[in-house]
Amino acid sequence: PAPLLPAPPLFHTGAHVMPLTIIIGAQWGDEGKGHITDRLAQDAAVVARYSGGDNAGHTVTIGGEVFKLHLIPSGIIHRGVVCLIGNGAVVNPVVMLREMDALAARGLDVGPARLRLSGGAHLITPGHIAMDRAHERERGRGAIGTTLRGIGPAYTDKARRIGLRAELLANPAALAAALVDHLAAKNEVLVKVYGEPPLDADALLADYAAQAARLAPHLVDGPVLLDEALARGETVLAEGAQGTLLDLDHGTYPFVTSSSPTAGGAITGLGVGPRHVDRVIGVAKAFTTRVGGGPFPTELDGEAATRLRGTGENPWDEFGTTTGRPRRVGWLDLPILRHARRVNSLSELVLTKLDILSGLAEIPVGVAYDVDGRRRADFPTDLSALARCRPVYETLPGWREDITGARRPSDLPANARRYVDFVAEHTGAPISYVSVGPGREQFIELGDRD
């Protein structure tokens, strides 16, 4: 018999394969992932979005300039970094082009060499947006609180295997035929079920033809691009959208998003193997926020909520980057962070917005829950149990000092350092960075403390 051939290597040989770093939200989203992605992108070759759509909102502040990104990865701010929108994302061509034009007007290169769109990503159409609005209206008081941008219906079509993939943008005839069928199906439901007016298919076909002509040059096979970058020894950042508690499988279902914003979602959403992953960074605010409906154990109202939320006058106040809605706010909830550590195998945490807590005499931290008279340290994703959770707090001493100018661990007041250490100790995840303001330079890297 012929001799057995050796099995092919799992990785490219002859080159040092650099690890993949995954950045995820450790709460309900809006934690500041764009901020840390921008910080780490200076050493990266590729920054890739792996899930979600333009319901995300990532804000990057550089000097006096504020960049608000919804779909394009935050790495686009760094010249020379290639940005990829991966298979796991859903893309509204109108939004992508509008965001590209806005960035180009500010002098950033968003050409095909820098901004790539994986052909396996799915497209969002006006039909999806109309269905999203109709669904939320039908739910009435039980509305989930979606951003009404067609994200859920696009993922629904993907799961039903009737979605429109971005690869169609390179084939005008196939795109037109797929859109005709898609819009006919959506109009039938909109008219007969929801009593809505039909969408104008002819106008939408013309719009999509123009959009396809502009976006087709950006198409690429995303998994191949990433595999080749890793094989060359280049650094890849996987930028998450939303947060762990919005994950379809591991979040507060049904008040969740329609994709997987956890570390597992990065693997499937980008098409790279888990053995490439060396670092999983969870990003958490120094307090807790969420948008939309659903239980929120440490939620505050009144003066305390306004103190954490801000007034909306500043870009960093707690109002949605995408929707402008005021975010619900509450004290830091450590069972949530422990849940995120388990689900994502976090190697570390980044704690953002520590400066917002400055000036408080005391800072409560939720360390566990009381559920029907029994103490519970873990986070229940069962909605009925979560609704009965009452937070158990430990109160830490606050600090009066302004910490926005701190750049080293030794610059932090003793009580601010104690707060950071308390979070790390009670979540089991070391904290690698702390942000003390919205600016690119307002980060403290932790390690050997001086």
Contact in structure between 396 and 418 (CB atoms under 8 Å): yes
DSSP-derived secondary structure for 184-241: HHHHHHHHHTT-PPPP-HHHHHHHHHHHHHHHGGGEE-HHHHHHHHHHTT--EEEE--
Q: Is residue 30 among the annotated active site residues?
A: yes
CA 348 to CA 225: how far, in whole Å?
27
CA 26 to CA 120: how far, in whole Å?
27
- Between helix 126-139 and helix 151-159 the angle, nearest 10°, is 110
Neighbouring residues of 66: CB distance < 8 A, sequence distance ≥ 6:
59, 60, 315, 438
- Report CA 305 to chain centroid distance, whole Å: 24
CA 257 to CA 140: how far, in whole Å?
18
Contact in structure between 423 and 352 (CB atoms under 8 Å): no
Active-site residue, selected from the candidate residues 35, 58, 128, 276: 58
Residue with the two structure tokens 């960075």:
433
Tell me whether the omega of the peptide bond preceding residue 254 falls within 30 degrees of 0, making it cis.
Answer: yes
Active-site residue, selected from the candidate residues 30, 54, 227, 247: 30
Pairing state between β 277-285 and 236-239? unpaired
Q: Is residue 339 among the annotated active site residues?
A: no
Query: What residues are labeled active site?
Result: 30, 58
